[in-house]
Amino acid sequence: MGTVTLGVSIAVPEPYGSLLQERRAGFGDPAAHGIPTHVTLLPPTEVDAARLPAVRAHLAAVAAAGRSFPMRLSGTGTFRPLSPVVFVQVVEGASACSWLQRQVRDASGPLARELAFPYHPHVTVAHGIPDEAMDRAYEELAGFEAAWTVGSFALYEQGSDGVWRELYEYEFGAGRPSKGVPAQGSPVDEPAATRT
């Protein structure tokens, strides 16, 4: 069956998601349109495809134990010089994101893994592009603000074309997959919850 590359994240809703995706593309980041705007809970992780049912069951249990929480983004930050990333800061909801990502990566579950860096919830707006463009992203989005209530998270798979596509969205409290939110700037060809 082979392996699949999975990620788990909280989607940034419209109109903010598309706005930040377009800004990321405008700064010259070639990955912008292949990555829906998000807050990561599980970074790209290679998993045996046969384990997908166990992954889905695990994420459903995590969602069932979770509850909605307020999220607010404000201003910019950077991981430079350690990592070539400029991001929009999560100023409310970070502790809930930290709790969720620990549950997703729980040592007893199918997505157990160590992280290369300590977990820091954020929304990437520039990655691995020239310093001048990184500086522009940092300065031009310094006044960015967004707020919403997070009611779910989603499982994504990276295709052979490098594009991340939503497989399932999990609502807090219910734990069941729900109809997904389309990736920013992409038409939906079928409900996310029906994809296999």
39-81 per-position pLDDT tens digit = 999 999 999 999 999 999 999 999 999 999 999 999 999 998 8
Backbone angles phi, psi at 145, to 5 degrees: -140, 140
Structure tokens at 122: 């954020």
Q: What 3-state DSSP class applies to 61?
A: helix
Structure tokens at 112: 């157990």
Question: 14: how many CB neighbours lie within 10 A of its CB?
Answer: 13
- The 10s digit of each residue's pLDDT in 124-153 is 999 999 999 999 999 999 999 999 999 999
d(CA 148, CA 112): 29
Q: How many residues does the chain have?
A: 196
Q: What is the pTM of this model?
A: 0.86
pLDDT given at position 175: 52
* Residue whose pair of structure tokens reads 């709790």 in the numeric block: 99
Backbone angles phi, psi at 48, to 5 degrees: -60, 130
